[in-house]
Each structure stands twice: as structure tokens, then as C-alpha cells.
């Protein structure tokens, strides 16, 4: 890896999802000349979905990739410098903060906004990817609406799976929860609600063996499940499969520096985006395991930029005071 001359920006935003773009837009309008490092997935998670119906401001159904293009265009319009690189190392114990790109470029920042998001975990079945956005989803809040009056399955047994099933049960005709063991690890109160719901059936000790579908239009028509105790296969007709086996926040490069919860999500001071390191902020899915929505990520990105601005302004005031007392 060749090291290029270091590049400095007052604010560096890592990530180009809704949180990252929003943070950068606000920082640019605060005249902080932000640099945004886009990462491996420019535009973030919404670039792998189709219809988005819950991002406010659009009466017509919009497409995820289109929405992210608009955010990128807006960021560029207000003067954000967008850099196509991936941060592979972060040295947050140094001042200015030091970030190293996969390109070999070193970036220096007075404030850093981490907006690296999270990724849904997938089972790894080839058809999951093939039918993604066409019958297979990892987000009931996002896609549940498309399954009104239809039959769906949810895979998983944690809080996410049970919450997704309960959410879908308001919309779908039937919800089948498929879990690989014979008990859930979800909170008891959620389990109780699920067991009492007339539209929800639970299939224990079973895994998804296959996804069946049609080509024109591309859609899911059924699944095959395998009972792990008996080896028996069962085909079921349904319209959608929701994979809810957890999410992984993209925080590996910050481990040992920024405080995290046991599951890898960045810890922030309640009601803020402040991490344990003054000058380092975390916004969006990377710090939010509960809501995980584009609009909440954008809102947290806005908060991070406003907090970074306050941090930089306070620091400048301190420097000015120190300078003045040195002269006096
Ligand atoms: P992300 O969108 O995850 O973006 C993270 C960014 O960080 C990416 O640009 C990535 O390249 C970058 N990055 C990661 N690591 C690095 C690194 N080391 N260096 C530099 N950059 C890095 N929400 C809704 O509100 N409505 C919906 O309809 C909806 N549909 C969805 C459909 C699908 C299939 C999925 C997966 C999610 C959906 N969501 C929806 C959820 C929504 O996409 C997320 O909540 C939102 O994208 C989170 O935004 P974010 O900015 O925090 O992170
Ligand atoms: P999780 O708790 O890790 O549960 C994942 C579930 O998926 C488990 O039941 C697991 O099975 C199953 N699973 C994992 N890999 C699988 C595979 N390859 N095939 C089949 N099944 C698989 O994840 P989560 O439910 O997303 O929750 C993550 C964290 O967020 C938890 O701390 C949770 O409490 C929290 N959360 C909280 C709320 C809330 O408070 N309302 C809501 C959502 C999430 P096993 O049970 O066999 O391991």
C-alpha cells in the first residue's frame, strides 16, 4: 500500500447512506468543508432495494437507488467532497484523527462522523439474493406493506423475528415463523403476543431449504422447509419470505477505540450521537439497533453534524482563549 500525502478536512464523514449524506449536507452548510468517504456500497443499504414508500416527501412510490442518487446530488450541490475510498484503519487516539483508506490515502480530520451502517445477515441461500426485493426481504417495516392480504414466512427466533412477525400479522393474511430450534430467544412478552396471535403459526426445529418462484414477474411462490429432527421436507405456498436472523454493524475498524455494546453497535450518549471520544460521532444504523430506518438514519446524521459543529466551535473558542492568554 503506497502512502500518499495526507489530506485534511475539518469534518470527515465515513459512509454514504442516508446518515452519511445528511451529516455531510449539514456540515457543508455550516461551512465546514466536509469530506465524505463513500465506502464499498455508495448510497448504502437503500441501493439494494426497490420501492421505498415511507420516506417522507414523496407522494409517488420512489426507488431506493434513485433516492440515494438524489441525496448524493444534493450533497455535491452544497459542496461536499465525495471520495470513493474505503476506510481500512482508524486511529482515533491521534489529533487530528487519522483515517487510512484502502487506496493508501491518509485522511486527517478534526471531527469524525461514523455512518458506516449495518448489514442484515442472510442465510447464504443462492435464491435469497436472486429473489431479493421480489419476495425476499430483511425488513418488514420497509416491505411489509407489499404483502397486504398475502401469506408470508419469517425466518429466525430472536426479538427481530418475533417483532417482524407481529408487524406483518397486521398486514398479511398469514405469517409462518420458521425457527431452527424449539424455543425462541426473544423476550417473553413478545413471545406471548406472538403465540396468542391468530394469524401466526410457528414451525419449530426447521430451516429454509429452498425458495420457489416465478420469472415473469419475478416473484416468490413458495418455500420448502426441512425439519431438522425428522429430515422431512415440506413445501408451502406463500408470497414472501422475511429473513430476520440479525444484523451486523460495520464497526470492525473502530474496535478497541470507540465504545461498543456487546453486539458491536457503537454506544452513544443517550439523546446524542456523541461517542466516548470527544470529536467522534456515530449516526444511523451503526449506532441504532432498534429503528434502522432511512428517515431515522438521516435524522441522526443531522444531529451528528450539528453536534460536530458545536464541538469544533467550542474547540476554536478554547484555542482563541489560550492564544489570547499567551499573548497577554
Ligand atoms: P447504510 O445505508 O447502511 O450506509 C452505510 C454506508 O457506510 C455505505 O455507504 C457503506 O459503503 C459505508 N461504509 C461502511 N463501511 C465503510 C468503511 N469502512 N469506509 C467507508 N465507508 C464505509 N428503510 C426505510 O426507511 N424504508 C425502506 O423502505 C427501507 N427498505 C430497505 C430495504 C432493504 C433491502 C434494506 C437492507 C434496508 C431497508 N431500509 C429501509 C433500511 C435503511 O436502508 C437503513 O436504515 C439505512 O440505509 C441506514 O442508513 P445508514 O446511513 O445508517 O447506513
Ligand atoms: P438475534 O437475537 O441474534 O437472533 C437471531 C435469531 O436468528 C436467533 O433465533 C437465531 O437462532 C436465528 N438464526 C441466526 N442464524 C441463523 C441461521 N443461519 N439460520 C436460521 N436461524 C438463524 O438477532 P435479532 O433478533 O436481530 O436481535 C439482535 C439484538 O437486537 C438482540 O440483542 C435483540 O434483543 C435486539 N433487538 C431488540 C429489540 C427490542 O428490544 N424490541 C428488537 C429487535 C432486536 P438461535 O436462537 O438458534 O440462535
| Predicted TM-score of the model (pTM) | 0.85
Chunked mean pLDDT (size 10), the chain, 328 residues: 80 98 98 97 89 91 95 98 98 97 98 96 93 94 94 96 95 98 95 98 98 95 98 98 96 97 97 98 96 96 98 92 83
Cell 465546514, residue? Answer: 32
Would you say the CB of residue 129 lies under 6 angstroms from ligand 1? no
Residue 328: per-residue pLDDT: 74
Q: What angle do CA 25, 81, 109 make, to 5 degrees?
A: 90
Q: Give the other-Cβ count within 10 Å of 37's Cβ.
A: 25
Residue 113: per-residue pLDDT: 98
Residue 149: per-residue pLDDT: 97
Residue 3: per-residue pLDDT: 54
Would you say the CB of residue 138 lies under 6 angstroms from ligand 1? yes
Residue 50: per-residue pLDDT: 77
Would you say the CB of residue 144 lies under 6 angstroms from ligand 1? no
DSSP helix/strand/coil, 56: coil
Rg (CA), the chain: 22
Of 141, 114, 157, nearest to 252 by C-alpha is 114
What are the strands, taking DSSP E only, across 135-205? 136-137, 151-155, 174-178, 200-203
- 67 sits in which H/E element: helix 64-77
Cell numbers describing residue 76: 455535491
Q: Would you please indicate which residues are annotated as catalytic (active-site) residues?
A: 139, 142-143
CA of 249 from ligand 2 middle (Å) equals 14
CA of 165 from ligand 1 middle (Å) equals 22
Would you say the CB of residue 18 lies under 6 angstroms from ligand 1? yes
Phi, psi of 293 (to 5 degrees): -125, 155
The ligand with the least distance to the CA atom of 193 is 2
Phi, psi of 118 (to 5 degrees): -145, 160
Is 236:176 a contact under the CB 8 Å cutoff? yes
Q: Tell me how far CA of residue 126 lies from CA of 49, 70, 91, 200, 225, in angstroms.
A: 17, 31, 37, 27, 15
Residue 48: per-residue pLDDT: 79
Would you say the CB of residue 251 lies under 6 angstroms from ligand 1? no
Among 24, 46, 146, 295, the mutation site with the greatest number of ligand 1 atoms within 8 A of its Cβ is 46
Amino acid at each position: 500500500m503506497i502512502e500518499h500525502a495526507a489530506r485534511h478536512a475539518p469534518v470527515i464523514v465515513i459512509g454514504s447512506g442516508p446518515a452519511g449524506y445528511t451529516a455531510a449536507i449539514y456540515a457543508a452548510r455550516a461551512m465546514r468543508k466536509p469530506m465524505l468517504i463513500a465506502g464499498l456500497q455508495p448510497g448504502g443499504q437503500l441501493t439494494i432495494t426497490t420501492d421505498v414508500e415511507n420516506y417522507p416527501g414523496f407522494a409517488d412510490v420512489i426507488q431506493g437507488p434513485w433516492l440515494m442518487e438524489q441525496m448524493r446530488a444534493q450533497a455535491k450541490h452544497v459542496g461536499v467532497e465525495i471520495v470513493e475510498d474505503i476506510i481500512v484503519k482508524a486511529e482515533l487516539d491521534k489529533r487530528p484523527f487519522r483515517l487510512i483508506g484502502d487506496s493508501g490515502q491518509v485522511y486527517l480530520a478534526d471531527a469524525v462522523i461514523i455512518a458506516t451502517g449495518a448489514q442484515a445477515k442472510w442465510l447464504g441461500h443462492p435464491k435469497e439474493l436472486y429473489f431479493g426485493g421480489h419476495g425476499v426481504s430483511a425488513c418488514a417495516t420497509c416491505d411489509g406493506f407489499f404483502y397486504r392480504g398475502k401469506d408470508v414466512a419469517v425466518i429466525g427466533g430472536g426479538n427481530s423475528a418475533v417483532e417482524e412477525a407481529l408487524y406483518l400479522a397486521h398486514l398479511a393474511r398469514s405469517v409462518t415463523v420458521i425457527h431452527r430450534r424449539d424455543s425462541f430467544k426473544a423476550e417473553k412478552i413478545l413471545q406471548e403476543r406472538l403465540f396468542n396471535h391468530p394469524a401466526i403459526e410457528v414451525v419449530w426445529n426447521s430451516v429454509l431449504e429452498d425458495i420457489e418462484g416465478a420469472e415473469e414477474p419475478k416473484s416468490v411462490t413458495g418455500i420448502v422447509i426441512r425439519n431438522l429432527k425428522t429430515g422431512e421436507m415440506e413445501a408451502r405456498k406463500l408470497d414472501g419470505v422475511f429473513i430476520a436472523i440479525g444484523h451486523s454493524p460495520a464497526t470492525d475498524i473502530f474496535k478497541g477505540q470507540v465504545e461498543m455494546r456487546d453486539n458491536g453497535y457503537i454506544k452513544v450518549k443517550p439523546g446524542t450521537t456523541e461517542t466516548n471520544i470527544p470529536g467522534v460521532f456515530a449516526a444511523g444504523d451503526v449506532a441504532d439497533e432498534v429503528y434502522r430506518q432511512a428517515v431515522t438514519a438521516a435524522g441522526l446524521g443531522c444531529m451528528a453534524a450539528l453536534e460536530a459543529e458545536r464541538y469544533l466551535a467550542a474547540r476554536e473558542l478554547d484555542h482563541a482563549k489560550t492564544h489570547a492568554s499567551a499573548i497577554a
